[in-house]
Amino acid sequence: MNFRYKLMQFFSRCYGADRLFYILFGVASVLALSNCFVRAVWLQMVVYTLTAYAIFRFLSHNVSARRKENEFFGKIRMGIKYKMGIRRQRKADYNHVYKKCPRCKAVLRLPRKKGKHTARCPKCKNEFKVYVFKA
């Protein structure tokens, strides 16, 4: 068998590039670029570690373990994306204020009117005081 065939056989079993690989490599690249200005040894070690882990994942033959890592990372990423979307939506809503019920922790959307108000939670029917500072 020639070298080319063996190389093709080795890479055919590798996990390959996925979203986590690209993000690890991108973060390592950004940190390496910023280290050109900072010149910190610890930052260079972080760059080397991220790059080595990304290459390890790329060349790994344990596909099930890499798939689990990628699913775990995907869940974290989607959770962050969901929370950022809610935050962006709330920031764009100028006519309402968002408060949590002290008893059941449900988020209530209340009209933005300056002053002291009494609010009732639709879930647990708890009445509580709400203070709105900006109108």
CA distance 99 to 82: 19
Rounded to whole angstroms, the Cα distance separating 14 from 8 reads 10
pLDDT value for 75: 95
What residues of the chain score a pLDDT lower than 70? 1, 135
- Give the per-residue pLDDT at 74: 93
The torsion angles phi and psi of 99, rounded to 5 degrees, stand at: -130, 150
Are the C-beta atoms of residues 41 and 48 closer than 8 Å to each other? no
pLDDT of residue 135: 56
Per-position DSSP letters for 8-70, written without gaps between them: HHHHHTS----HHHHHHHHHHHHHHHHHHHH--HHHHHHHHHHHHHHHHHHH-S-HHHHHHHH
**The residue type at 51:** T
In three-state secondary structure terms, 103 is coil
